[in-house]
Structure 1
Amino acid sequence: MTTPESVVRALAEPARLRAFAAVVLGAGTLADVATASGLKVKDAGTALRKLHEAGLVEGEPARPADLKPLAATLTEAMPADGLAPFIRGDKLVSLPVAHERRRKILEHVAAYAFTARTYYEEKEINERLAAWCDGGEVDHVTIRRYLVDLGLLERGGGMYQAQPLPM
């Protein structure tokens, strides 16, 4: 099965990337791929075999595989409205530096992590935000602090209340 990770792994090796580019540009035979990519025939053959195994190249003569299902999967997993570089599915990857964009990202997280006008103990806030931050560059404490600073969470008496998002 072709996944984003398998595509990146397959194309991370320079010879495979050059061979794949040659195929995409129309080279189909081993000799054509070697010539177009500047690779030795043996190296072009190895690269084509690995690309075929990765599901990026198919057939004889070689042609790019249909990657539309993979593209559709990526599109579904990536939120719209400029959030894609920062959010993957239900994971916060990083935060932008620009204030307005950061606010938009944090509003997205707050909308999916909390219910407006609901009270939460700090432990539950931390657990919900930690799940969003798992594997990302930002920790849940920083996110909690930003949410409070932006008024998306109110803190008082040892409890937090999620605030309604602005329209």
Structure 2
Amino acid sequence: MDAATIAGLLADPVRLKVVAALALGAGTIEEVAEAAGLGLKEVALAARRLARAGLVHRDGHALVLRAERFSAAARAAAEAAPPPEPLSDDPAADAVLSAFVRDGRLVSIPSQRSKRLVVLDHLVRVFEPGVRYPEREVNALLAVWHPDVAALRRYLVDEGFLTREAGVYWRSGGYVEV
């Protein structure tokens, strides 16, 4: 069974509640109904559908969640997923960025300066060369990446990626595609 099929089965709120009750230790139709706040008929129908799909083993009124099926589907989905797009053409920079950037967000600011420079060079690309930004806009652009906008702003200025004067910032460093 694949992850998409499991997700489809669990999209039904009744089946989701049945699986949750089983995962939390309920072992019979009656226990599931009580734990999930559902009627016996609803639980029996959902359990039958889950059993046909192989996610629940049903023996009379006893129910057992087959959690290994969820794990196997998750592993298969992860193996089938395409590799992530590189964040940089440079393999060394990509390795650093892969360690600190997840889903378009900076998970942490590197403490090692060499790694921080790679990350800052990547972040500064949200700023257009030649455009002046008020601090409020700089904060908004950096907040998309990480909640500590003050630290990012300070690092960008201190390392020469941005220049600041009278509360206005502009890009003054970093790689620029032409």
Q: What is the TM-score when the length of structure 2 is the normalising length?
A: 0.53
Q: State the distance in 1 between where 2:129 and 2:95 align.
A: 22
> SS at the partner of 1:94?
coil
1:146 to 155, 162, 166: 155
Q: Secondary structure at the match of 2:118?
A: helix
Helix, strand or coil: the match of 1:151? coil
Of 103, 123, 129 in structure 2, the residue corresponding to residue 89 of structure 1 is 103
List runs of 5+ in structure 1 lacking aligned partners: 3-45, 58-63
Does residue 1:67 correspond to 2:78, yes or no?
yes
Is the 8 Å Cα contact of residues 78 and 89 (structure 1) preserved in structure 2? no
Partner of 1:122: 135
More divergent stretch after superposition (145-154 vs 93-102): 93-102
**Could you give the per-residue CA deviations for residues 72-95 of structure 1, whole angstroms, max 9, x where no partner exists?**
25x238662421111113211112
Change in 2 beyond 3 A, CA 1:55/1:161: same
- Contact 2:163–2:171 (Cα < 8 Å) also in 1: yes
Relative distance call for 1:127 and 1:68 in structure 2 (3 A) is: same
In structure 2, how many angstroms separate the alpha carbons of the residues matched to 1:157 and 1:95? 26
Cα RMSD, aligned residues only: 2.7
Distance change >3 Å, CA 122–CA 88, structure 1 → 2: same
Partner deviation per Cα, 1:24-47 (whole Å, 9 max, x = no partner): xxxxxxxxxxxxxxxxxxxxxx78
State the distance in 1 between where 2:144 and 2:124 align: 13
Q: Distance in 2 between matches of 1:109 and 1:67?
A: 28
Deviates more, 1:87-96 or 1:141-150: 87-96
Q: Which has the larger radius of gyration?
A: 2
SS at match of 2:151: helix
Question: What is the aligned length?
Answer: 110
Structure 1 runs (4+) deviating above 4 angstroms are none
| CA distance in 2: counterparts of 1:66 and 1:144, whole angstroms | 38
Give percent identity, aligned residues only: 30
Residue 129 of structure 2 aligns to a residue whose secondary structure is coil
Q: Is 1:100 aligned to residue 128 of structure 2?
A: no
Distance 1:100 1:129 in 2: 20
- Residue pair 1:77, 1:89 contacting (<8 A) in 2 also: no
Task: Please state how far the C-alpha of 1:96 moved relative to its aligned partner.
Answer: 1.8
